[in-house]
Structure 1
Amino acid sequence: MASGTRQIWKQYRSVAIIYRIGIAFVLGSVLGLAIGEPATRLEPLGTLFVRLLKMIIIPIVFFTLLMGARRLSPSSIGKIGGQVILLYLVTTAVAISIGLLVGNFVNPGVGLELADTSVQTKQAPDMLEVFMNIIPTNPVGAMADGSVLPTIFFTIAFGLALALLQDEHEPGTTIHDGVQTLFELAETGAEAMFKIVWGVMEYGVIGVFALMATTFGQAGVDAILPFAKLIGAVALAVGLHIGFTYLFVLQWGLLRESPLDFLKGAKEAMITALSIRSSSGTLPVTMNDADENFGVDEEVYSFSLPLGATINMDGTAMYQGVAAIFAANLVGQTLTLGEQVTVIVTALLASVGTAGVPGSGLIMLTLVLTQLGLPLEVVGMVAGVDPILDRLRTMNNVTGDLAVTTLVAKWNDRIDRTKTVWTTTDSPTEVASDD
């Protein structure tokens, strides 16, 4: 009997967690539709999942952002690295803005209400207050209160200060070794938090089942359309960002190359990302495309692409904008301009450190919703459709990595145009490089 139970558990665990959550999403929805109001009795199981998410927010922010700051050491970046990071930040900010614009246009979540109607959002701040509140007067107090944006700001500032100290002192000195120890402790803490995240997501199978049973038990079939609109809004935002930001602005406008040639060279990485839903897993394909299809010098892509797979989260950050609108609509609220600026700032700063976290899109969403004071039940609700959304986000991320890499390589004369996709067109760049 015991061996049979272990075998069942082993088979259950062999299914990827995100698919188990997706199945729980479907089964919970079906149960809610089938039995109606009695399904809302499962709500405490969903509330427990939400409390677990709240528990991990601040530790995740602190440890992972310290790890991210370590990678931004001035001595390891240089001119090319600075250009790469700046473009990553700019394209991420544009991505979030597009997500908010599409979210406001499509308005996903309208017509669906959370079972807990007592949820209240915080008083909306104006834009000046948003920027002033980024800087905490008491960093420890901000962490204790669960204030996400001040915690992010202080952690990044502290991490960069540590990186500068390490660069200024020789190995073997007390300060250099002390900084190294702090970074190693941060890495250990982050790994420990990843284990906790794994446990929370394992329970998330039950939590999502309960949340969806409660939602559909109360709303019935009216809950189906808002989720379809959420998927459509994310797909539209990804299409706009790739088409406008990467192809029109970066490739045609700045690089002066054919967008179709870029898509031809990037298609293997884009298809792989869409298939396996992992920027890191796609990295070998992405680097091969940069080398063979685009002729980018290894000095550029060996830095930009691994870094992009870690911190360049355009698709994930864009999703935060759409999901924030979705969450606000669930409680009958309209995000003010100041609150939407908060989404941009929070997601942009969080993108430095959350890429390596399992379920990073969902974890980042908890940060954004917490900062806005919106219900974290939304995280469990969208987790069920996340396998679809994650494929689109990952493809967007990988496409952005290649678009930025090719542009920086061109700026620094690190492209060999022979036997690449660029040789298929007689572009202004090609004429200039022949001189």
Structure 2
Amino acid sequence: MKKLALHWKILIGMTLGIIWALLSSSLGWSAFTINWIDPFGTIFINLLKLIAVPLVLFSIIGGVANIGDPASLGRMGGKTLLIYLLTTVMAISLGLLLVNVIKPGKLIDEDSRIDNRINYEIWAASEGHEVKDGINYLQDPNLKDRVQEISKLSNAQLSEASVSDKIENVKNQEQVSPLQPLVDIVPENFVAALSNNGLMLQIIFFALFFGVCLLFIDNEKSQPVLNIVDGINEVFLKMVDLVMQAAPFFVFALLAGVVSKMAGNDIGKVIEIFKGLSWYSLTVLIGLLLMIFVVYPGILKLFVKKIPYLGFFKAMGPAQTLAFSTSSSAATLPVTMECVEQNLGVDKKVSSFVLPIGATVNMDGTSLYQAVAVIFLAQLHMIDLTFGQQLTIVITTTLASIGSAAVPSAGLVMLIVVLNSVGLNPAWIAIIFPVDRILDMFRTVVNVTGDSVVCSIIADGENMLHFEDIKDPSKTFDLDS
């Protein structure tokens, strides 16, 4: 086991966790798993988040200040944001293409779709929305009895607490100034921003501001500060090393808890959940896997010739497997930085600047899923969205992905914004709740893979990529070697 690469150990831990959860479910031990094993998974994510925030802060400060040239910083920042924006638009477009070709929402039972359509029209009438395609099932005399029965059910569905809370939060956000997102980037209290993982953009703003200011003061005065920043950064990287030594066990606990909570003492629940949403889940998975194994490697090969296909995945294996198990780009960030620097040969000046920004603004997996989810939900309710409305989805999803927190299931909240943008019922997110946690794991792998690809492209463009100096990417980040 000592010679086994870290990502293989993590994969073994994940597999054993799922097997344990299914076994404990069949034997009626789910309560034991949730109470005595799952907490270790929570501890793991908490440890990674504990490291992630200060690591982002000191990495960006050190990365910006060590660039040494404000012009280089501006050029690198511009290229970083542009490439992140382009990959996001590509991910959304791929999602829309797949969902329009496969049409997962139209593969559901016809009677169920008619009921869903009646539900939609009842909601639209109550909220003052115009029915999208002009067809009115509520006026059909043949459906009068079904309309009366369904109208009672729809009221009960809309009262679901977990959904209504999220809708209320989005409504509150809609009442503020259009420039409020810009205002929110600038913290009024830096300590408060540090204590809240959801305010990562504020931390990045402060770190960029601090690092840029270091560039404009005398080297004699800035160097002692830089020495402290670099020293603290090394301490947090060592924390990552120590935590990752126990990653396979922690991942076992994490996956055992996730599956046990879904299954309870009935394995059939997991199977039924995926059967009901199978075509939707399959469409999202196809899109996410294409991004991971086709789109990103293609982009990388186009701009960076020196990194081979398999070499890239060997290098990023630990970060990708950890992203899958934690469902959090922010929690995975410390390991992503280690993999990119040690396994791909990216200079620390680039990785410490590009990756923290990517973990916050680059949500390609989330964007693709949101595009598929919106069209799927429309198809499920017999609504045909026009090209213009789908274009609105592209624009809204791109903007929403920038503000999406790098934590599990944050994409669901942003999905409400996208549904609102095309006049669809935000309460429909309850329909895809059951499979969201599993799909969230794959979405996070996409986000982390995209971050590392963009980081490699930027590093190569700045002549700060030294992959040829790495002897064996699969073993460099093996903590036991």
Match of 1:181 in 2: 188
Is 1:278–2:274 an aligned residue pair? no
How big is the shift at 1:97? 0.8
Change in CA separation of 1:421 and 1:336 when aligned onto 2, cut-off 3 Å: farther
What does 1:223-262 correspond to in 2, within 5 Å? 227-248=277-298, 250-256=299-305, 257-262=307-312
Is the Cα contact below 8 Å between 1:316 and 1:361 reproduced in 2?
yes
Change in CA separation of 1:122 and 1:186 when aligned onto 2, cut-off 3 Å: farther
Match of 1:94 in 2: 90
Deviations 1:128-172 (CA, angstroms, capped at 9, x unpaired): xxxxxxxxxxxxxxx99959899795334x43xx97xxxxxxxxx
Alpha-carbon distance between aligned partners in 2 of 1:297 and 1:342, rounded to the nearest angstrom: 38
Change in CA separation of 1:75 and 1:372 when aligned onto 2, cut-off 3 Å: farther
Is the Cα contact below 8 Å between 2:378 and 2:384 reproduced in 1?
yes
Is the Cα contact below 8 Å between 2:346 and 2:459 reproduced in 1?
yes
What one-letter code is carried by the residue in structure 2 that aligns with 1:238? L
How big is the shift at 1:362? 0.5
Match of 1:290 in 2: 340
Alpha-carbon distance between aligned partners in 2 of 1:235 and 1:144, rounded to the nearest angstrom: 29
Alpha-carbon distance between aligned partners in 2 of 1:109 and 1:13, rounded to the nearest angstrom: 39
Is 1:415–2:418 an aligned residue pair? no
Match of 1:349 in 2: 399
Is 1:154–2:186 an aligned residue pair? no
What one-letter code is carried by the residue in structure 1 that aligns with 2:188? T
Choose from 110, 116, 119 the match for 2:119. 116
Change in CA separation of 1:119 and 1:186 when aligned onto 2, cut-off 3 Å: farther
Choose from 46, 60, 83 the match for 2:79. 83
TM-score by length of 1: 0.59
Is the Cα contact below 8 Å between 1:238 and 1:315 reproduced in 2?
yes
Indicate the percent of aligned positions where both proteins have the same amino acid.
Answer: 34
Is 1:367–2:374 an aligned residue pair? no
Alpha-carbon distance between aligned partners in 2 of 1:423 and 1:270, rounded to the nearest angstrom: 14
Deviations 1:343-384 (CA, angstroms, capped at 9, x unpaired): 111111112222246631101111111111112232112111
Change in CA separation of 1:99 and 1:15 when aligned onto 2, cut-off 3 Å: same
Alpha-carbon distance between aligned partners in 2 of 1:356 and 1:390, rounded to the nearest angstrom: 11
Alpha-carbon distance between aligned partners in 2 of 1:145 and 1:289, rounded to the nearest angstrom: 36
Alpha-carbon distance between aligned partners in 2 of 1:390 and 1:280, rounded to the nearest angstrom: 14
Is the Cα contact below 8 Å between 2:328 and 2:407 reproduced in 1?
no
Match of 1:105 in 2: 101
Is the Cα contact below 8 Å between 2:361 and 2:401 reproduced in 1?
yes
Change in CA separation of 1:75 and 1:415 when aligned onto 2, cut-off 3 Å: closer
Which secondary structure does the structure 1 equivalent of 2:346 belong to?
Answer: coil
Deviations 1:253-301 (CA, angstroms, capped at 9, x unpaired): 1212422221221122111111221111211221111111110000110
What one-letter code is carried by the residue in structure 2 that aligns with 1:181? E
Give the number of the structure whose alpha-carbon radius of gyration is greater. 2
Change in CA separation of 1:405 and 1:331 when aligned onto 2, cut-off 3 Å: same
Match of 2:251 in 1: none
Change in CA separation of 1:186 and 1:420 when aligned onto 2, cut-off 3 Å: closer
Is the Cα contact below 8 Å between 1:152 and 1:349 reproduced in 2?
no
Question: Size of the alignment, in residue pairs?
Answer: 302
Alpha-carbon distance between aligned partners in 2 of 1:399 and 1:303, rounded to the nearest angstrom: 16
Which secondary structure does the structure 2 equivalent of 1:351 belong to?
Answer: helix
Change in CA separation of 1:183 and 1:149 when aligned onto 2, cut-off 3 Å: farther
Moved over 4 A (4+): 11-16, 73-77, 121-125, 143-153, 182-192, 221-226, 421-424
What one-letter code is carried by the residue in structure 2 that aligns with 1:329? Q
Match of 1:304 in 2: 354
In structure 1, the gaps of 5 or more residues are: 1-7, 20-70, 126-142, 164-178, 193-208, 210-220, 425-435
How big is the shift at 1:185? 8.4
Is the Cα contact below 8 Å between 1:95 and 1:317 reproduced in 2?
yes
Alpha-carbon distance between aligned partners in 2 of 1:276 and 1:186, rounded to the nearest angstrom: 23
What does 1:47-58 correspond to in 2, within 5 Å? none
Is the Cα contact below 8 Å between 1:296 and 1:415 reproduced in 2?
yes
In structure 2, the gaps of 5 or more residues are: 1-30, 43-60, 65-69, 134-167, 200-261, 263-270, 475-481
TM-score by length of 2: 0.54
Change in CA separation of 1:98 and 1:14 when aligned onto 2, cut-off 3 Å: same
How big is the shift at 1:226? 5.4
Change in CA separation of 1:368 and 1:13 when aligned onto 2, cut-off 3 Å: farther
Match of 2:449 in 1: 399
Deviations 1:207-259 (CA, angstroms, capped at 9, x unpaired): xx9xxxxxxxxxxx9997551001100110012222343111x2111212422
What one-letter code is carried by the residue in structure 1 that aligns with 2:75? K
What does 1:22-101 correspond to in 2, within 5 Å? 78-101=74-97
Is the Cα contact below 8 Å between 1:84 and 1:304 reproduced in 2?
yes
Which secondary structure does the structure 2 equivalent of 1:292 belong to?
Answer: helix
Change in CA separation of 1:81 and 1:236 when aligned onto 2, cut-off 3 Å: same
Is the Cα contact below 8 Å between 1:262 and 1:421 reproduced in 2?
no
Change in CA separation of 1:152 and 1:186 when aligned onto 2, cut-off 3 Å: farther
Is the Cα contact below 8 Å between 1:274 and 1:392 reproduced in 2?
yes
Match of 2:257 in 1: none
Alpha-carbon distance between aligned partners in 2 of 1:321 and 1:144, rounded to the nearest angstrom: 21
Match of 2:366 in 1: 316
Change in CA separation of 1:147 and 1:191 when aligned onto 2, cut-off 3 Å: closer
Is the Cα contact below 8 Å between 1:251 and 1:262 reproduced in 2?
no
